[in-house]
Amino acid sequence: MNRFDIREHGASILVAALGSSFGVTLVLVTDALSKLLYQNDRTGSSHSVQLVLSFIAYVFIAIAIYVGAVVTANTFATIIAGRTRTIALLRLVGASAASQRRAVAREGLIVGLIGAVLGLGFGIGINAVLLAIAIPALGLPMLAFNYVTITAAVPVVAVVLTTWLASWIGARRVLVVSPMQALGAAEERPLGDASARRGRNAIAATLFVIGTLILLGAVALGVTATPVAILPGVVGGILSFTGVVLGAGVVMPPALRFVGALLGASTPARMAAQNSVRYPERSARTTVGLVIGVTLVTMFVVALQTALSLVDLSRAAQPERYQGTDSIITGMAVIFGCIGGFSAVIAAVGLVNNMSLSVLQRTRELGLLRALGFSVRQVRQLIVAESAQLTVAAVLVGLLLGTFYGWAGAESMMGQLSGGGAVWPAVPPLLIIVVAVAALLLTMLASAGPSRRATRVAPVAALATE
Amino acid sequence: MQTTSPAAQLVARVENLTKSYGIGSNRIDALADITLGLERGKFTAIMGPSGSGKSTLMHVMAGLDTPTSGHAWLSATEITGLDDTQLTLLRRRRVGFVFQSFNLVPTLDTLGNILLPFELDGRKPSIDERAWIDRLIESLGLGDRLRHRPHELSGGQQQRVAIARALGTRPDLVFADEPTGNLDSRSGREVLSLLAAASTDFGQSIAMVTHDSVAASYADRVLFLADGRLTAERGRSTPEEIGSFMLGMERSA
């Protein structure tokens, strides 16, 4: 059996810990906010506000945990690809595929447990620090806040279960490892689930089309009549975006190819372009978390900016009516943007980890390139180009989607302010700058370790028979 | 010994080459003060049992590994002492490789793999070079496989692509490391005939490391290594002669 290797699972534990601490913090902060609202309740509406707050918090927690699960499933799939020969050997001496897969899932359960408990500790700590700093700073009464609540168990348990499930899904490839692969260097076999993939893509396309139609309908409604159009708008947006995420295996490869073509015609750039679509499903899963994060951030920022430009239009007519609206909208967008951006952080961990695993597993191939005359610099360019391609493709798709959803949200809620016509989506240059800098940093981070390791691969590595 | 012939006739030679691993009493000499030369335009087989140092010798001669002491030349260039960048350029322009397995870049098709050494140099083959490559593709029977990826090719076809790539730049010397090790005997014979033909028809210098007597029988000359030393050499020989000589070596060891 495979021993539990902390180095192999470090990234997955980090992802689980990030998801769990994010969830615990949000639950505890929401609890504290509810207490404050209840204390100041003069209208008797605090209960419904609490419900809305909790609902929003759990939606964000669910998104972060979902992104974490996608990242973990991908990491496990990559780890399994690297273990093919060991698994094949165990199969050769009589281990069943199902027992092998269960063993991998057990590792996933351990990863989930360690990460979730670490996250619980961090979450409690972060919340305590936030309370200690924010309450006096904002001049709020120091109430008997809970440092931990029973509801904090919800994200913790959810992270354990989703990590376990993710490892089980990621271990699917175990089933197609043939004992023969222990005997010779065999090519990676395609997973025989083409029909399942087709089914999923059909569902994805349906969700996307229906969701987008509902969303556009909501925009039309919002522009002409009523702010209530935001409700069908939200439903349409969720359906439409779920379609994109489910169909990432179809959406991302063309985006990756497009970015690959932008990288130039140098040999390392062109080989990198081909490497990143070598396993389209794997690349799609690597990038989809980042797409989700960037989409959320962009959506909130663009919605804010578009809403502000709608308010401006309306204010020209009625200057006294919109006192203070700007700062409320700005505050909400910044908070939601940051909370949504956390998914991007989790996704970034996955991307960095995926790059290093993929270099580890390509030692012989890199050795071959070195033997054939690839210089150290060209190897480094290859790795940097691969990582740039993943990052840039995810960021571009996220920006496009986020701009659309943000604009649609603003129009469906406040479109009537412009007096019957839609406005263009407002994309603040600062957003583009922040996202571009973040993408650059992520590219550097994701390629630093792997390119150092890749350039150390000796050309002789290609000649080794194992 | 071939070192007595004029150096100009040698495409590669090594002098007093030693490669050791470990220190003190744990020291193992993979190569022990070996001196030999390979003739230009000839197909030379380097034979020996496992651990005889034949692979290490090839690695050093090809600029893949550095010796503990001694010197190695490729044509007139001394390669011992070159830095990594110079060795990289040497491998790219003046040496070709055919490995036992994992010869090809999986993301590139047949033509992409064959043209890879030119790509790495950042240039397109000249008209003359392109004609040469077309001739290779033709003679290796790869014309209808140019758009196939490695995983769509049989082992023998993959090895023929590797040979085309190795010969494409008309390197000083092609190194083949157990090129038939992963092939069935029919594909193996085919690959060996192609290597032999490259030497006789095009004057390509080839050095092949092998422990297979049948493979070595395709060579113009066979060098025998044992314990990091050159123990014997033969001209063209039958598999039986080579096999019985190897058996004799094993017995006396």
Is A40 part of the contact surface with chain B (CB cutoff 8 Å)? no
Instruction: Give CA–CA dist A41/A28, Å, rounded.
Output: 20
- Nearest residue in chain B measured CA to CA from A377: B85
Stretches where chain B sits below pLDDT 70 are: 1-8, 102, 253
Instruction: Give kind and range of the element (H or E) at residue A107.
Output: helix A97-137
* Residue B26 exposed, middle or buried by CB count within 10 Å (0-12, 13-18, 19+): exposed
For residue A193, the model assigns a pLDDT of 56
For A462, the closest of B99, B116, B121 (CB atoms) is B99
- Nearest residue in chain A measured CA to CA from B153: A187
In this structure, which amino acid lies at residue A104? V
Instruction: Give CA–CA dist B89/A406, Å, rounded.
Output: 53
Token pair belonging to A56: 């929003």
Cβ B91–A463 below 8 Å, yes or no? Answer: no
CA A160 to chain centroid, in Å, comes to 18
pLDDT digits (tens, 9 = 90+) for A33-47: 888 888 776 666 667
Contacts of B162 (CB under 8 A, 6+ apart): B97, B98, B99, B103, B104, B113, B179
Instruction: Give CA–CA dist B34/B233, Å, rounded.
Output: 13
Whether the Cβ atoms of residue B172 and residue B191 lie closer than 8 Å to each other: no
- Nearest residue in chain B measured CA to CA from A459: B64
Instruction: Number of A to B CB contacts under 8 A, please give it.
Output: 74
Instruction: Give kind and range of the element (H or E) at residue B47.
Output: strand B43-47
Q: Chain B: give the shortest CA distance to residue A71, in Å.
A: 25
For residue A109, the model assigns a pLDDT of 95
Stretches where chain A sits below pLDDT 70 are: 1-3, 41-46, 180-195, 227, 317-325, 418-422, 462-466
In this structure, which amino acid lies at residue A263? L
Residue whose pair of structure tokens reads 């020291």 in the numeric block: B27
Cβ B105–A266 below 8 Å, yes or no? Answer: no
For residue B2, the model assigns a pLDDT of 44
At B97 the three-state DSSP class reads strand
Token pair belonging to B94: 């003046």
- Nearest residue in chain A measured CA to CA from B62: A371
For residue B34, the model assigns a pLDDT of 93
Q: Chain B: give the shortest CA distance to residue A274, in Å.
A: 6
Q: Chain B: give the shortest CA distance to residue A95, in Å.
A: 27
For residue A183, the model assigns a pLDDT of 59
User: Among residues B53, B90, B71, which one has the least CA distance to residue B17?
Assistant: B71
Residue whose pair of structure tokens reads 């962009």 in the numeric block: A298
For residue B1, the model assigns a pLDDT of 42
Cβ B85–A375 below 8 Å, yes or no? Answer: yes
